[in-house]
């Protein structure tokens, strides 16, 4: 049966994939231009990559405008491309902007850092762009094939980025551990998807959800469905580094180049969350009574293990890795609170806000740590940040702002993330969980203040000055502005988060987002 | 005709072998092969279900899994070679600079 070409690739398909096409073109462009550049001009690759991110953002904006026009014609949220396997709904658009911002800030942080490490290669920036394509597929995929391919595209690019300092033993080791555990979790995830495919006979998330709903009514304790749920959830929880599947995170975070550690802890994690929300809210909501106890257990274990392990760390990157595990625990509580009975989506909104503010404050903290890398000083121990106040006062104060925001002190951005999670827990009647979460937030303040204590109260260990490259300055300015402005004027950003959930694709399916 | 449950049981056994190999083997290359075994178990169950439902989408998934497995092998072997160059060992227990 011969089909004309325009049915395989319609203009809607083109519009929806334009952000990814832009990134792919610029990513390949970086690879080719890199061959022509003399060694001292390699940093030009960073600017090419940044231009690519800007073009991609413009393409996302085009999609957003098209969505607005469709809404004016009463067809909001009807953007489906590639035979139903890709949806650019508002949920996806929100995540698109998040990924692009995270990647842009990470590239700004990397330029000088890679020169100090003597690993300034074009492949680095190309891989960052390719990983963003993977993330976009994860956020907008509505078909398990596309979701899996997007996940792997992101993961493979990140494995290489983690091991990018190939002469450094720690970087190699981190890449190896991340690769082995990441590939293992992808295998488990794919097995779960195969079982769901077997139950439903379709790879479309909506189709699978409809079949599961009927299947679950007829046979509530089907062992195959439960096994499929367990394996799929295991794979997803691995990706967001939730306890008990978190062991890879501290090692990968410590060994990776610092700017990539920051990138992994925000953009890669946000992509993992996009995938998790897409699957749990759009495909697995009929199984919610089964997975709810599991999520409660995992979130409590994540909060406990992340916060307690962070208390004793002496390495800054490792400390922030455990703190990011703890943050995942708070976000998982938002998933618990997304209650179908009273039709509240506060918990999910809390997760979206949390991911947004986390992008700024955590990248800011990692930007400060990146600046500690100087000649002959690795600069990722707490001892290395000691006395920062006397060397670079502005930087020390910005770091304090990021740390207070991470701890959730008002009026900084981090407060709003935690506020909505706790609010949703109280709204849905989970008082015990809310109490535990607040107590752990207090505990978190202790280890963030240990860093602040070292910066302000202790003398510097070395006399080597701390200097900021222009890229790093810009990254610090953006993240600091983001952290403070979201904290003081949260309304705009809260509206954006609410907007991202306002017209769920296939609203009959998205039971949690009423 | 062979019933579908035979294929699924075989796939589950292969998958369990892969998980077991991943957990107990002490050579990075063998661990890597165990992961490939897990992915092949996934492929078998997708093909079995695709023939059961008479739907092609499962077979499409298998093609993508094969491509992903090949890319993963390429990246994985590159990383393994980088690790071997800096340490002269393939035993993951001796790759322990980052404390667990």
Q: Residues A291, A358: contact at Cβ < 8 Å?
A: no
Residues of A in contact with B100 (CB under 8 A): 247, 251
| Axis-axis angle for helices B57-87, B28-53 (nearest 10) | 180
For chain A, the 3-state helix, strand and coil shares in percent, each to the nearest 5, are 75, 0, 20
Closest Cβ–Cβ partner in A149, A183, A203 for B72? A183
pLDDT at residue A412 greater than cutoff 50: yes
How many Cβ atoms are within 10 Å of B96's Cβ, its own excluded?
A: 11
Interval A35-64 mean pLDDT: 94
pLDDT tens sequence across A231-281: 999 999 999 999 889 999 999 999 999 999 999 999 999 999 999 999 998
Domain total for chain B? 1
pLDDT band of A217, cuts 50, 70, 90: confident
pTM score of the predicted model: 0.94
CA A509 vs CA A328, A503, B15: distances in Å: 26, 12, 32
Q: A154 pLDDT exceeds 60?
A: yes
Instruction: Tell if the CB–CB gap between A183 and B100 is shorter than 8 Å.
Output: no
B17: containing domain:
4-87
Q: Which residues of B touch A201 (CB under 8 A)?
A: 49, 52-53, 55
Given a contact cutoff of 8 angstroms between Cβ atoms, the answer to whether B58 and A197 are in contact is yes
> For residue A184, which residues of chain B lie inside 8 Å, CB to CB?
22, 35, 38
DSSP SS3 for A141: strand
Contact A195/B45, CB-based, under 8 Å? yes
A305 touches chain B (CB under 8 A): no
Q: What is the pLDDT of residue B90?
A: 82
Arithmetic mean of pLDDT, A385-402: 92
Task: Sort out which chain A residues have CB atoms less than 8 A from B57's CB and list them.
Answer: 145, 197, 202-203
> Has residue A503 got a pLDDT over 80?
no
Tell if the CB–CB gap between B82 and A175 is shorter than 8 Å: yes
Q: Is A180 on the interface with B (CB under 8 A)?
A: yes
Closest residue on chain B to A188 (Cα): B38
Other Cβ atoms less than 10 A from the Cβ of A208: the count is 26
Residue B100 maps to a domain: no
The answer to whether the Cβ–Cβ distance between A148 and B49 falls below 8 Å is no
**The pLDDT of residue A279:** 93
Domain for residue B93, yes or no?
no
Interface test with B, best of A194, A244, A380 (most B CBs within 10 A): A194
Tell me how many degrees the CA angle A217-A219-A221 measures, rounded to the nearest 5: 115
Q: Which residues of B touch A321 (CB under 8 A)?
A: none
ipTM, 2 dp: 0.96
User: Mutual orientation of helices B57-87 and A144-162 as an angle, nearest 10°?
Assistant: 10
**How confident is the model at residue A142, as a pLDDT?**
92
Note whether residue B14 is domain-resident. yes
CB contact under 8 A, B32 and A187: no
Residue B96 domain-assigned (yes or no): no
Length of chain B: 100
CATH of the domain at B75: 1.10.287.3510
> Per-residue confidence at A286, pLDDT binned at 50, 70, 90?
confident
Query: Is B65 a residue whose pLDDT tops 70?
Result: yes
Measure CB to CB from residue B72 to each of A156, A163, A197 and give the nearest one. A156
Q: Which region among A6-20, A34-48, A425-439 has the lowest average model confidence (pLDDT)?
A: A6-20
Q: Which residue has the higher pLDDT, A23 or A222?
A: A23
Q: Where are the beta strands (DSSP E) in A66-161?
A: 80-81, 86-87
**Are B95 and A173 inside 8 Å of each other by CB?**
yes
Average pLDDT value for chain A = 90
Would the pLDDT of A512 be above 50? no
Per-residue confidence (pLDDT) for residue A380, from 0 to 100: 86
- A77, pLDDT greater than 80: no
B62, pLDDT greater than 80: yes
Does residue A504 have a pLDDT over 90?
no
Strand partners, A143: A204
Shortest Cα–Cα distance, A444 to chain B (Å) = 21
pLDDT of B54 strictly over 70: yes
- Output the pLDDT for position A505: 44
Q: Is the bond preceding A411 in cis, omega lying within 30 degrees of 0?
A: yes
Per-residue pLDDT of A186-204, as tens digits, reads: 999 999 999 999 999 999 9
Contact list, B46 vs chain A (CB under 8 Å) = 194, 197
Task: Sort out which chain B residues have CB atoms less than 8 A from A202's CB and list them.
Answer: 55, 57
Lowest mean pLDDT among A259-268, A459-468, B6-15, B44-53: A459-468
The full set of domain ranges for chain A reads 295-514
Q: Is the pLDDT confidence value at A161 over 50?
A: yes
pLDDT confidence tier of residue A129, bands split at 50, 70 and 90? very high
Residue B8 lies in a domain: yes
Q: How far apart are CA A383 and CA A367, in angstroms?
A: 17
- Contact (CB<8Å) B45/A198: yes
Whether residue A132 contacts residue A267, with contact meaning beta carbons closer than 8 Å, is answered with yes
**For residues B26-53, average pLDDT:** 94
pLDDT grade for A511, boundaries at 50, 70 and 90: very low
The B-side interface with A (CB below 8 A) comprises 8, 11, 15, 18-19, 22, 28, 31-32, 35, 38-39, 41-42, 45-46, 48-49, 52-53, 55, 57-58, 60-61, 64-65, 68, 71-72, 75-76, 78-80, 82-83, 86-87, 92, 95-98, 100
Q: What would the two tokens of residue A67 be?
A: 């969505």
Name the residue facing A197 among B39, B46, B72 (closest C-beta).
Answer: B46
**A478 contacts: CB under 8 Å, gap ≥ 6:** A105, A108, A360
Q: Given pLDDT bands bounded at 50, 70 and 90, which one contains residue A10?
A: confident
Sequence-distant (6+) residues with CB within 8 A of A38 are none
Of the candidates B15, B52, B64, which has its C-beta nearest A145's C-beta? B64
| Interface test mutation site (partner A, options B6, B71, B72, max chain A beta carbons within 10 A) | B72
* Contacting residues for A218 by C-beta, under 8 A, at least 6 apart: none
Cβ of A247 within 8 Å of Cβ of B100? The answer is yes
Structure tokens at A133: 């394509």
Among A82, A166, A191, which would you mutate to test the B interface (most chain B Cβ atoms within 10 Å of its Cβ)? A191
Give the pLDDT score at B88. Answer: 84
Instruction: Tell me the pLDDT tens digit for each residue of A347-383.
Output: 888 999 999 999 999 999 999 999 988 877 888 888 8
Query: H helices within chain B, ranges in order?
Result: 4-24, 28-53, 57-87
Evaluate whether A140 touches A92 at the Cβ level (below 8 Å): yes
A 152-171 residues with CB < 8 A to B:
152, 156, 159-160, 163, 166-170
Tell me, yes or no, whether B72 lies in a domain.
yes
Please compute the mean of the pLDDT values over residues A318-322 and round it to a whole number: 95
CB pairs under 8 A between A and B: 127
- What burial class does residue A217 get, using C-beta atoms within 10 Å of its C-beta: 0-12 exposed, 13-18 middle, 19+ buried? exposed
What is the rounded radius of gyration, in angstroms, for the C-alpha atoms of chain A?
22
Pairing type for strands A80-81 and A86-87 reads antiparallel
Helices (H), A219-315: 223-239, 248-255, 258-263, 269-277, 288-311
The predicted structure's pLDDT at residue A342 = 46
């Amino acid at each position: 049966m011969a089909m004309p070409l325009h049915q395989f690739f319609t203009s809607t398909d083109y519009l929806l994939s334009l952000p990814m096409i832009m990134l792919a073109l610029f990513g390949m462009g970086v690879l080719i231009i890199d061959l022509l550049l003399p060694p001292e001009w390699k940093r030009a690759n960073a600017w090419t990559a940044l231009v690519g991110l800007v073009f991609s953002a413009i393409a996302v904006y085009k999609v957003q405008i098209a969505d607005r026009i469709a809404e004016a014609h009463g067809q909001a949220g009807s953007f489906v491309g590639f035979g139903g396997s890709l949806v650019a709904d508002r949920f996806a658009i929100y995540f698109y902007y998040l990924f692009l911002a995270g990647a842009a800030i990470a590239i700004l942080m990397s330029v000088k850092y890679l020169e100090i490490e003597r690993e300034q290669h074009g492949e680095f920036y190309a891989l960052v762009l390719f990983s963003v394509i993977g993330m976009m597929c994860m956020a907008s995929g509505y078909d398990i094939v596309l979701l899996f391919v997007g996940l792997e595209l992101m993961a493979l690019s990140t494995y290489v980025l983690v091991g990018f300092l190939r002469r450094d033993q720690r970087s190699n080791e981190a890449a190896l551990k991340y690769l082995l555990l990441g590939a293992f979790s992808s295998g488990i995830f794919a097995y779960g998807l195969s079982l769901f495919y077997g139950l439903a006979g379709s790879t479309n998330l909506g189709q699978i959800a409809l079949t599961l709903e009927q299947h679950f009514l007829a046979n509530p304790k089907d062992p195959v469905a439960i096994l499929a749920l367990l394996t799929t959830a295991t794979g997803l929880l691995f990706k967001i580094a939730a306890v008990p599947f978190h062991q890879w995170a501290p090692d990968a975070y410590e060994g990776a180049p610092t700017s990539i550690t920051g990138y992994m802890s925000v953009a890669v994690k946000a992509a993992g969350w996009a995938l998790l929300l897409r699957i749990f809210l759009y495909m697995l909501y009929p199984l919610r009574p089964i997975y709810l106890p599991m999520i409660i257990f995992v979130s409590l274990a994540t909060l406990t293990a992340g916060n307690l392990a962070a208390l004793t760390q002496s390495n800054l990157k490792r400390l922030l890795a455990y703190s990011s595990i703890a943050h995942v625990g708070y976000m998982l509580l938002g998933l618990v609170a997304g209650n179908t009975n009273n039709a509240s989506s506060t918990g999910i909104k809390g997760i979206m806000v949390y991911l947004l503010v986390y992008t700024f404050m955590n990248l800011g903290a990692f930007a400060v740590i990146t600046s500690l890398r100087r000649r002959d000083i690795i600069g990722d121990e707490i001892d290395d940040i000691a006395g920062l106040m006397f060397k670079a006062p502005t930087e020390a104060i910005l770091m304090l702002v990021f740390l207070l925001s991470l701890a959730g002190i008002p009026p900084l951005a981090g407060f709003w993330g935690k506020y909505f999670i706790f609010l949703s827990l109280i709204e849905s009647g989970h008082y015990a969980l809310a109490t535990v979460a607040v107590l752990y937030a207090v505990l978190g303040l202790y280890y963030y203040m240990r860093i602040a204590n070292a910066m302000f109260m202790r003398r510097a260990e070395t006399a080597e000055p701390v200097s900021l490259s222009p890229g790093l300055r810009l990254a610090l300015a953006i993240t600091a502005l983001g952290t403070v402005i979201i904290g003081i004027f949260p309304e705009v950003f809260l509206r954006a988060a609410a907007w991202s959930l306002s017209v769920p694709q296939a609203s009959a399916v998205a039971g949690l987002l009423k | 005709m062979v019933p579908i449950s035979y294929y699924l049981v075989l796939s589950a056994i292969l998958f369990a072998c892969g998980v077991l190999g991943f957990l107990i083997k002490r050579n990075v290359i063998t661990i890597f092969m165990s992961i490939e075994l897990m992915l092949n178990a996934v492929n078998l169950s997708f093909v079995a279900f695709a023939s059961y439902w008479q739907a092609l989408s499962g077979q499409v998934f298998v093609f993508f899994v094969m491509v992903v497995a090949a890319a993963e092998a390429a990246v994985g072997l590159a990383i393994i070679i980088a690790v071997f160059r800096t340490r002269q060992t393939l035993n993951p227990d001796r790759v322990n600079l980052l404390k667990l």
